[in-house]
């Protein structure tokens, strides 16, 4: 595949022309173009194991053909994405949707494709066959200690599996909450959750981190125990130094200022992970950058500024795509997301922070907006393409994927009716 990608990249006169034109423009503005290209080549985002199959809604799921039906095939597909984009060198497992039968063989397969394992995700939002207790009324928050213990034990098993694969973090997302006023006691459910998280934390190896995800609603529609970043932050602080908040773009009420949240968390050294997706209404899990690309750019501005002014020693972030829907070929969809992420990051890297600071101190509101929008309106696609070419990936991943007829090859191997575990 790598050789075929090189062959496709070789016919690139248009790219060379566009890059040199943009490079000249940016050099005049004092931008270090090579530094930006290197930053983009180095930037890596994990792909979740559940995103390789056909997504769906509760109304249906439609076959795509050649869907990976086991973990090995899912890892293979992440390998394809990484070869084509050079931006996806890690996979994030969701347990129990994807449990490796033989962790060392799974680790080897991933390594042979240049992949590693990022944060592992536990799942106490669904009951599993033969499970002793149900999570219908919550897991880590449950009033019944036996249910909480079972959920804590599950998280502990997830840590063990992750450890065998070389992961260094667990992401906990809870569906826990209630759908009717009076159904649950807010204080007790939050207290149980804090206590359960503390017990899971104790089971982590010393070099592991815990990411605590929040979400305002769904599947519960009246109250969610970890409803917002403030609650997650409070729990992370109570749980321990290596417990952090995880921001999922889709887990906010409409119009929430996510860039402000990101800035505050980095200021406190408590932003651990980030789930990319896009949405119009709720947790829509649409392709990154398909609905609100300007918001993504503003978020990247805060992420970059925060990490360049890292007063509280915020650790490097765990980046992951958390999107899945039922219309596109998931490999193409993930590559569109990765591209949108790099485009937003490249634009944010163009912001002249020194000039912006001067304009802010002068309270020159117009100039502040000019600086941001000058960066945002720059067509950075040649920089993104060059960052891929530099690492042997495809100049245009979707074009390469289609020219190489990869989906048809997968269908020939796996058939039209194969189906992925998970969502
Ligand atoms: C929940 O909506 C979430 O964002 C969590 O990260 C889950 O683990 C993931 O999506 C898959 O359901
Ligand atoms: Mn998520």
Distance (Å, rounded) from C-alpha 53 to C-alpha 59?
Answer: 16
CA–centroid distance, 123 to ligand 1, in Å, is 9
Q: What is the mean pLDDT of each run of 10 residues along the chain (423 residues)?
A: 92 93 97 98 97 82 91 97 98 94 97 98 96 98 98 98 98 98 98 98 98 98 98 98 98 97 98 97 96 98 97 97 91 98 98 97 98 98 98 97 97 92 65
The pLDDT of residue 57 is 74
Residue ranges near ligand 2 (ion) with Cβ within 5 Å? 248, 275, 322
Mutational pocket test of ligand 1: of 56, 120, 139, 248, the residue with most ligand atoms within 8 Å of the beta carbon: 248
CA–centroid distance, 10 to ligand 2, in Å, is 38
The pLDDT of residue 59 is 79
* Ligand closest to CA 120: 1
The pLDDT of residue 315 is 98
- pTM comes to 0.97
Phi, psi of 210 (to 5 degrees): -115, 130
CB of 295 within 6 A of ligand 1: the answer is no
CA-closest residue to ligand 1 atom 1: 173
The pLDDT of residue 423 is 61
The pLDDT of residue 74 is 97
Q: Of ligand 1's atoms, which has the minimum distance to the CA of residue 50?
A: 11
pLDDT digits (tens, 9 = 90+) for 11-39: 799 999 999 999 999 999 999 999 999 99
The pLDDT of residue 353 is 96
CA–centroid distance, 274 to ligand 2, in Å, is 8
């Amino acid at each position: 595949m790598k050789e075929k990608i090189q062959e496709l990249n070789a016919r690139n006169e248009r790219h060379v022309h566009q890059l040199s034109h943009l490079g000249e423009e940016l050099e005049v503005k004092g931008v270090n173009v090579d530094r930006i290209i290197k930053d983009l080549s180095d930037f890596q985002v994990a792909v979740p194991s559940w995103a390789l199959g056909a997504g769906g809604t509760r109304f249906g799921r439609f076959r795509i053909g050649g869907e990976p039906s086991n973990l090995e095939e899912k890892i293979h597909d992440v390998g394809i994405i990484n070869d084509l984009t050079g931006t996806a060198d890690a996979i994030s497992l969701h347990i129990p949707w994807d449990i490796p039968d033989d962790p060392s063989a799974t680790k080897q397969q991933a390594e042979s494709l240049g992949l590693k394992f990022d944060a592992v995700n536990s799942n106490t939002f669904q009951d599993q066959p033969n499970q002793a207790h149900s999570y219908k009324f919550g897991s880590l928050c449950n009033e019944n200690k036996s249910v909480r213990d079972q959920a804590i034990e599950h998280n502990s098993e997830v840590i063990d599996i992750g450890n065998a694969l070389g992961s260094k973090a667990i992401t906990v997302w809870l569906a826990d909450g209630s759908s009717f006023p009076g159904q649950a006691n807010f204080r007790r459910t939050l207290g149980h959750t804090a206590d359960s998280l503390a017990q899971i934390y104790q089971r982590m190896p010393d070099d592991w981190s815990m990411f605590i995800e929040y979400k305002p609603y769904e599947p519960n529609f009246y109250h969610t125990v970890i409803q917002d970043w403030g609650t997650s932050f409070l729990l992370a602080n109570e749980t321990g130094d290596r417990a952090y908040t995880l921001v999922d773009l889709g887990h906010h009420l409409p119009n929430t200022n996510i860039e402000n949240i990101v800035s505050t968390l980095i200021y406190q050294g408590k932003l651990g992970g980030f789930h990319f997706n896009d949405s119009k209404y709720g947790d829509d899990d649409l392709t990154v950058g398909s609905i609100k690309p300007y918001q993504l750019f503003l978020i990247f501005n805060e992420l970059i500024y925060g990490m360049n002014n890292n007063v509280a020693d915020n650790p490097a972030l765990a980046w992951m795509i958390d999107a899945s829907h039922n219309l596109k070929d998931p490999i193409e969809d993930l590559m569109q997301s990765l591209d949108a992420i790099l485009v937003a990051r490249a634009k944010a890297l163009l912001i002249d922070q020194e000039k912006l600071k001067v304009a802010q101190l002068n309270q020159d509101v117009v100039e502040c907006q000019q600086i941001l929008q000058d960066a945002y309106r720059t067509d950075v696609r040649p920089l993104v393409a060059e960052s891929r070419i530099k690492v042997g990936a495809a100049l245009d991943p979707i074009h390469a994927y289609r020219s190489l007829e990869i989906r048809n090859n997968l269908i020939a191997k796996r058939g039209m009716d194969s189906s992925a575990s998970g969502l």
